[in-house]
Every structure is written in C-alpha cells, then in structure tokens.
Amino acid sequence: MMDNTAILTTQDTEKLSFDKFRSEVLNDYYIACISRETSLLGRKEVLTGKAKFGIFGDGKEIAQVAAAKFFQKGDFLAGYYRDQTFAFALGVTNVEQYFAQLYADPDFTHDPFSAGRQMNAHFATAFVDKNGDWVDLVSRKNITSNLAPTAGQTPRSLGLALGSKIFRGVERLKQFPNLSNNGNEVCFTTIGDASTSEGVFWETINAAGVLQVPLVMFVWDDGYGISVPKKYQTTKESISELLKGFQKENGTNGINLYTVKGWDYAGMCEIFEEGIQLARETHTPVVFHVEELTQPQGHSTSGSHERYKTTERLEWEREWDSNRKMREWIMANSLADDEELEELESRAKTNVRDGKSKAWVNYITPVKNQVQKVAELINNLAVNIPEQSAPIKKLAADLTANREPLRRDVLQTLNDAINLAGSHDSVFWLKDIYNDLLTENKLLFNSHLYNEGPGSILNVREVKPVIPADAPLINGFEVLNKYFDKLFETNPKVIAFGEDLGLIGDVNQGFSGLQVKHGENRIFDTGIRELTIMGQGIGLAMRGLRPIAEIQYIDYMLYGLQTLSDDAATLHFRTKGLQSCPIIVRTRGHRLEGMWHSGSPMGLLVHSLRGFVICVPRNMVQAVGMYNSLLQSNDPALMVECLNGYRLKEKLPSNLLEYTVPAGVPEVIKEGNDITVVSYGSTLRIIMDAARSLEKLGISCEVIDVQTLLPFDIDHAILESLKKTNRIVFIDEDVPGGAAAYMFNEVMEKQGGYKYLDVSPRTITGKAHRPGYGSDGDYFGKPNAEEIETAIKAMMAE
C-alpha cells in the first residue's frame, strides 16, 4: 500500500523549495549582519583600549557568504585577515571566539585558533591531534592558519590544491581515507586586490595553470591597499584584464577566469557554483575577480580612510555597500519585508553584543583573579615591613585600580614589591610567586615553536648504521639514490619535486632513474620558481604527506625563504600545536665554484628558520640517517647536503631505512687533547687536513661535527670537550658573525663555556664577500687548511 503522506504535489514541492531558498537567503543575510556588527564593535573595542589592533571584514560580507555556500567538508581555506564572514558562514567560529582573539586571550578554549598568538581574524582548525597524528580532514572544514604578509597565503594554497591531484593520482594513497576523498577537495584562497602586485601571486597563478590543480582563488577588490589605489598597484587597474592570457582554452592548460560584482549576491552564487564545481571535478584552477567591494571603516584601526579617499568615493562606498545591496535585493524579490529584516538585524546586534561581553569576561577574569591574589599578598607584605608600608600599599592599590590589567602588570608589580622588600624574609615567597607566574606565562606565550609530543624530533631514538665488512664502497650520490629508491618503495606518503629532479633525477643524480620506477605523481620536475616549490611542500605537508621539496642550490634559498620563514617556521607556534608542517627542504651547498654556487649562508638560515630542524651532514651516509629521523617527526626541516660529498666514496650501510642520526647530538670525529674544533658539513674535510698536519707538530685537535645547527648540542657535548682541552675554535664558511658566531654564543653563553678557557676563543669563517670564481677564488674566499693551522698554532702559543 502506498504511503499517501509521502506524496507531494508539484505546488507543494515548489513551495518547499521556495521556503528553503528563502530561509537560506535570510540566513546568509543574517550572517552578513552578524559579521558587520562584529566589525563595528571590534573597532570600538580597539579605540577604547581593550584590544591593541583590529582589522575587519566589513564590506566583503556578501561575497563571502556566497563563496562559503560551495565550501564542502574536506576542502581547505588559505585566506587572509578579511575572512571573518567566511569563517562565520562555515561555522568554524562564533562571535565569542572572534572577540577572544581580538583581546589576545591566551586560553585555547576561548581563542581556539591561536590561543591569543595571532591578531583577530587569523583562523585555524586542527590538523593534528595530541599524538601528532593527522585527524580526519575529509570530514571537516579545514582552515589553514592565516598569516599577515600580503600574498603570503598563496604559496601554501598551491600545495594544498596540489595535494588533491596527488591523492587522486597515486593509487597507493587511497589507503588513507582520512586525508582525501579521491582528490575531490578544493583549496579556497582569498587575497586582496593590492596583494596581487606581489610576485608570488603571479608565480602561484602560473604554477597552478601549469599543474592543473583545484585552486579556487577569490580576489577581493576594494580598490585599495591601505591608502594606495589600484592606479599604482595594477596595470590597467584590473587584475582580470591582466589574467586573460592565462584563460584555459580548448586543448590547453590554464585557469578559468570570472569577473563578478561583490554586491551581487545572486550573480555571485551562480558563478561561484559553476567555477568551483569545475575545479573540483576537473582540477582546473579558477580565479574570481570580485569587483566593487568596499571598506566601510577603512583599512584597519590604525588610520582613517577619510585621509585618502575622496568624498565621492566615500559616498559611492556607502551607496554600494554590499549588505545594503543585498537587503534591497531581498525586498525587491519579496523574500522579506522591512519589518522582518529589522527584526533580524536587531537580533544580530544583540547576539554580537552578548558574545562580545562574554568574551571580555572570559578574558579578563583570570587576570583579575591574579591581580586580586597578588594585591592581597602585597598588602600583607606591607604589614610585615612597616617601614616600607606606604609605597608597598601603593603598588597594590595601583594594580587593583587598573580596569584592564595585563599579566605583564601583575609581574611588574611583583617585581617592584620584591625590590621594595629588599633583604626582608618575605622576599622568598614573593620570588616563588613571581617564578610560578613566569612558568605559567611561559606555557601560555612561549610554547610550541617545535612539536612537543610524540611528533618532536627529539623523541627519535638513535639507531646506528650497520656497515658489514663487505659493504660496497660507492659514491655519495649512489648512497642517496639507493636510499630514496627503498624509501619510495616503502613509504607512499613521500613525494619529491624540484628543478631537474624528475626526468634526470636531480643535478647530482640522487633521484636518477627513480621517476620511471615510482611514477610522475611522486617524483617530478617543477618550473624555476623556488618560492612556490616551497609552497607546494608546505601545503602537501599540511595535508599529511611527506614532501621532499628541493631548492637546487643553497644560494637560491633566498627565493624560497619568505614562505619558509613566515609560514612553515611559525605554523606550529602560531596555532599552538593545532597544525604541523613536516616539510623536508632539500638543498645542497657549501664550497663549490663561484659566487652563486658556493653559498653557506647558515647564519641567515638559522636565524630566519627558528622552528625548523637544520641538518648539515658532512657526507651522504649521515644525510640518510638524518632523513630517517626527520621522517619520524613532524617538525619542518632543512637538509643541506654538501656539494663536495656526492663523489666521495662511502661504505653503504645495510640498514638504510632504519638507522637514524639524532638531532642536536654532535659527533666527535677525531679525538684530541689540545684544542676543540667545532664545525659542520664540507669544512670538516679541510679541518681534518689541518688537524693531520698539526698532529705532526704535536698539536692534538678534537674535531666535533655538530650535525644539526637547530637544535644545537642539546646535551652540551662540546662543553665536555672544552673542559678537557680548554681551547676552542668555531669554523665555517659563512660570513663573519654568521653561523660560527651562533655556535660560539651557544657554547660560551648557554653552555657556560667561558669558564673553561685558557686562551681567547675564536671563529674562523669565510670572508664577508662571496668567493670569486675558480680555485683561487675559493681558496682566498673560504677558510683553508693553512689559515686554520696558523690560527691554531697561534692559540697554542698564547
């Protein structure tokens, strides 16, 4: 028998779908109103001093509610600071959390994106769990942590989109259903119109067009980059005009390009749906140039746009405000009347006000509790030290009078109280409280530069290489080649790419013959574009793969450095552990020939890549052990293979995939009693020449290879050597004051090495200029054995 209740007439169905449509539209408008109200109140919070800085998404609301409609579970967003409406519409944030971040609330339960470490509207969702395992990304809406350098999100977005292509193309990756649903995920990227002036934007667009990856890019065009209008930013004042040559045509690669008006809700919904669906199905990248957007409150809380916009422009912005236009459209299409919309708008206002107030109470309560506790203690102190009673009481009174106290104020007051207490007994418990608070704040503000749980490189156990008696003696590059072959056979998540890495197997043949064996989806060539090669690596690593992203020579690290420093190195810290990026950047360097193939800018890298593991192996057997360690950890890493090591003969270990080199553990490669010589990489071979020569003169050098510059000698092995020799020299090929000075500082200051010195410690480095071409250029530009001998002889005679 048929169930009559299940039968709907055509009219009923139409009515239902109209109701559904209407309620969806009104919900979108409601989110736009919520978002607008957050912007308005957010600005007030900054101007009244409750937050330090604010940057808001007003004027972009309607475009973002429209875009968010086509964001599916499993998709990724790599956006920027204007994305608050997007985040509200996706349901990944709410008003309370939004304000918590604005106040820099360090409690993760309040600001679940950055625990107060990032400015407002820098959202992020969890990619890894406490064990360092990737969560089920396919069932979630994934927001990669925003960053503020303009266009800084674009390199990563390329990698996130590339992930879908790789998951779709590599059969063996189908065994990880939590990471991808057959590559159906797209990566949404948002960028401001002015930021398209950055070179990396163009690099990303070109690479996406070549690679054919599902990158969905929205350019929010409000005509300005802070105060500078399009006239000074963009040729022809139109990014879509310029991008026309990239348009995909029949039988070509390229991108799909659409131009829409940012106030036209219905128009945008239609066009976004089409472009995004194509990207999802065919992996054709798409750019939506969203024009005629506004900034009702100007760029940020740091200035007012009345200073640089004309009255006509300001009038135009009021008239074409997208929330206003959507409201008019709703009324014109009889989806709601004025009264209903007013009720909705007033509800949005109340909700935002309530959310904001709750966020403030949540934020300020623990600080006020600290204030109260410390003020009580200080008042007690005043009783104990009557002669200082008045100034001590004033400290407590000033602290409690502060309506918006910071943790900093509490500590500063305690410090002042300690000073006033002088040598009185009470000072001990005051210091205890001060130190307890310091420890508590350290956890809040200084943790997670590196992975701290099982994902930490420091948890990797050492396994020694096994070198059988009959081990073949082969070239360094062949050791790597055999290793990569086995690695790609056993670990489907490893992907390698770079310039000349695919077909010819890299310029030093580490991957020679391996593309044919393991497939073009896993080992492949890229264009000459170091910054986006790094971006590919970052995006893939965030998606749970294990990319080895190559920069052909260390001299070209500068091209790729921005995204490594700003994005990869800060990611774990700025999400307080929500996201990890186990990219391995592979490069080769140190002495070879000429100004641009001899680089060893290790100081530059050590200082710009805090958050990375930096491996500086002296040969390829060491390098393999380091690769094995890195692949067991979630920390990002830089591997600098030494250029003069590829043709060095080495014995092939039999446990290639098993042995590890622990990070932060130096190796004594020659024992000695007279002087400790600390170095790494290629320079060690020159040092060993000098050491052999000095040995004949009766000077015994202890030569130490630090192996990793970050982390550095965690158990202070160098100090132990120094205790024995009482003399130390740090040698490398960097500029004076570079990585040798960094090692010097580590041993002298952190390890307290100065206590064990009989003569003044030194550094021997390359010259401040780059080495000239040819063998003499190298000899006179980089440290040489004779120079090292002379310096050590002088130290022995001192």
Q: Which residues are catalytic?
A: 597
Does position 83 interact with Mg ion (CB under 5 A)? The reply is: no
Does position 292 interact with Mg ion (CB under 5 A)? The reply is: no
SS3 content of the chain, % helix, strand, coil (to 5): 50, 10, 40
Binding-site member from 155, 183, 192, 510 for Mg ion (CB under 5 A): 192
Distance of CA 698 to CAs 208, 481, 673, 692, 701, Å?
62, 41, 11, 10, 10
Binding-site member from 40, 69, 73, 149 for ligand TPP (CB under 6 A): 149
Distance CA 399, CA 381 (A): 15
Kindly report the three-state secondary structure assignment for every residue of 288-330.
EEEECCCCCCCCCCCCCHHHCCCHHHHHHHHHCCHHHHHHHHH
Listed residue (422, 408, 414) closest to 395, CA to CA:
414
Binding-site member from 37, 222, 292, 732 for ligand TPP (CB under 6 A): 222
- Please identify, using beta-carbon distances, which residue of 75 and 222 lies nearer to ligand TPP: 222
The residue behind tokens 């040598």 is: 423
Listed residue (481, 454, 479) closest to 467, CA to CA:
479
Does position 225 interact with ligand TPP (CB under 6 A)? The reply is: yes
- Please identify, using beta-carbon distances, which residue of 159 and 262 lies nearer to Mg ion: 262
Min dist CB 194 to ligand TPP, Å, is: 3
Min dist CB 224 to ligand TPP, Å, is: 5
Q: Chain centroid to CA 668: how far?
A: 34
Binding-site member from 65, 194, 605, 710 for ligand TPP (CB under 6 A): 194
Q: Which residues within the stretch 455-514 sit at the binding site for ligand TPP (CB under 6 A)? A: none
The answer to whether 84 touches 56, Cβ cutoff 8 Å, is: yes
- Please identify, using beta-carbon distances, which residue of 45 and 193 lies nearer to Mg ion: 193
Does position 123 interact with ligand TPP (CB under 6 A)? The reply is: no
Does position 193 interact with ligand TPP (CB under 6 A)? The reply is: yes
- Please identify, using beta-carbon distances, which residue of 193 and 778 lies nearer to Mg ion: 193
Min dist CB 255 to ligand TPP, Å, is: 19
Q: Which stretch binds Mg ion (CB under 5 A): 218-226, 324-332, 479-487, 606-614?
A: 218-226
Distance CA 10, CA 357 (A): 48
- Please identify, using beta-carbon distances, which residue of 146 and 552 lies nearer to ligand TPP: 146
One character per residue 750-779, x = contact with ligand TPP (rule: CB under 6 A): ------------------------------
- Please identify, using beta-carbon distances, which residue of 228 and 466 lies nearer to ligand TPP: 228
User: Within 632-781, where are the H helices?
Assistant: 683-696, 717-725, 739-745, 774-781
- Give how many residues touch ligand TPP by CB under 6 A: 14
Q: Which stretch binds ligand TPP (CB under 6 A): 220-228, 335-343, 480-488, 707-715?
A: 220-228
Long-range CB pairs of 748-757, under 8 A, 24+ apart, other chains included: 751/713, 751/716, 751/718, 751/719, 752/719, 753/718, 753/719, 753/722, 753/728, 756/719, 756/722, 756/723, 756/726, 757/722, 757/726, 757/727, 757/728
- Please identify, using beta-carbon distances, which residue of 299 and 597 lies nearer to Mg ion: 299
The answer to whether 173 touches 179, Cβ cutoff 8 Å, is: yes
Which of Mg ion, ligand TPP, none does residue 148 bind (CB under 5 to 8 Å by kind)? ligand TPP
Q: Which stretch binds Mg ion (CB under 5 A): 190-198, 453-461, 476-484, 780-788?
A: 190-198
One character per residue 266-305, x = contact with ligand TPP (rule: CB under 6 A): ---------------------------------x------
Listed residue (798, 783, 659, 681) closest to 728, CA to CA:
798
Using CB atoms, what's the residue nearest to ligand TPP?
192
Sheet architecture: strand order including 142-143: 142-143, 76-78, 187-192, 215-220, 286-291, 256-261
- Please identify, using beta-carbon distances, which residue of 195 and 536 lies nearer to Mg ion: 195
224-225 and 228-229: which strand pairing? antiparallel
Q: Chain centroid to CA 690: how far?
A: 41
Listed residue (430, 426, 332) closest to 386, CA to CA:
426
Phi-psi label, residue 726: left if phi above 0, alpha if psi -120 to 50, beta otherwise? left
Question: How many Å is the Cα radius of gyration of the chain?
Answer: 30
Does position 82 interact with ligand TPP (CB under 6 A)? The reply is: yes
Binding-site member from 8, 47, 148, 266 for ligand TPP (CB under 6 A): 148
Min dist CB 302 to ligand TPP, Å, is: 10
Distance CA 283, CA 186 (A): 8
Which DSSP helix (H) or strand (E) runs through 376? helix 338-384
Which of Mg ion, ligand TPP, none does residue 400 bind (CB under 5 to 8 Å by kind)? none
Min dist CB 533 to ligand TPP, Å, is: 20
Binding-site member from 40, 226, 314, 796 for ligand TPP (CB under 6 A): 226
Residue type, 696: K
Min dist CB 649 to ligand TPP, Å, is: 47
Strands of 26-114, DSSP E? 76-78
Q: Exposure string (b/e) for 485-518, b if CB count within 10 Å is 16 or more? A: bebbeeebbbbbbbbbbbeebbbbbbbbebbeeb
Binding-site member from 28, 111, 193, 317 for Mg ion (CB under 5 A): 193
Min dist CB 193 to Mg ion, Å, is: 4
- Please identify, using beta-carbon distances, which residue of 194 and 364 lies nearer to Mg ion: 194
Distance CA 405, CA 71 (A): 41
Binding-site member from 150, 212, 322, 622 for ligand TPP (CB under 6 A): 150
Does position 553 interact with ligand TPP (CB under 6 A)? The reply is: no
The answer to whether 289 touches 258, Cβ cutoff 8 Å, is: yes
Min dist CB 120 to ligand TPP, Å, is: 14
How many other β-carbons are positioned within 10 Å of the β-carbon of residue 711?
Answer: 17
Does position 79 interact with ligand TPP (CB under 6 A)? The reply is: no
Does position 625 interact with Mg ion (CB under 5 A)? The reply is: no
- Please identify, using beta-carbon distances, which residue of 75 and 193 lies nearer to ligand TPP: 193
Which of Mg ion, ligand TPP, none does residue 149 bind (CB under 5 to 8 Å by kind)? ligand TPP
The residue behind tokens 């999100």 is: 153
Token pair, residue 169, equals 């193309």
Residue type, 313: R
Which of Mg ion, ligand TPP, none does residue 36 bind (CB under 5 to 8 Å by kind)? none
Q: Which stretch binds ligand TPP (CB under 6 A): 88-96, 176-184, 192-200, 668-676?
A: 192-200
Torsion of CA 620, 622, 626, 627, to 10 degrees: 30
Q: Which stretch binds Mg ion (CB under 5 A): 222-230, 305-313, 361-369, 749-757?
A: 222-230
Does position 222 interact with Mg ion (CB under 5 A)? The reply is: yes
Question: How many Å from the N-terminal Cα to the C-terminal Cα in the chain?
Answer: 107
Min dist CB 566 to ligand TPP, Å, is: 9
Interface residues with Mg ion (CB under 5 A) are: 192-194, 222, 224
Interface residues with ligand TPP (CB under 6 A) are: 82, 148-150, 192-195, 220, 222, 224-226, 299
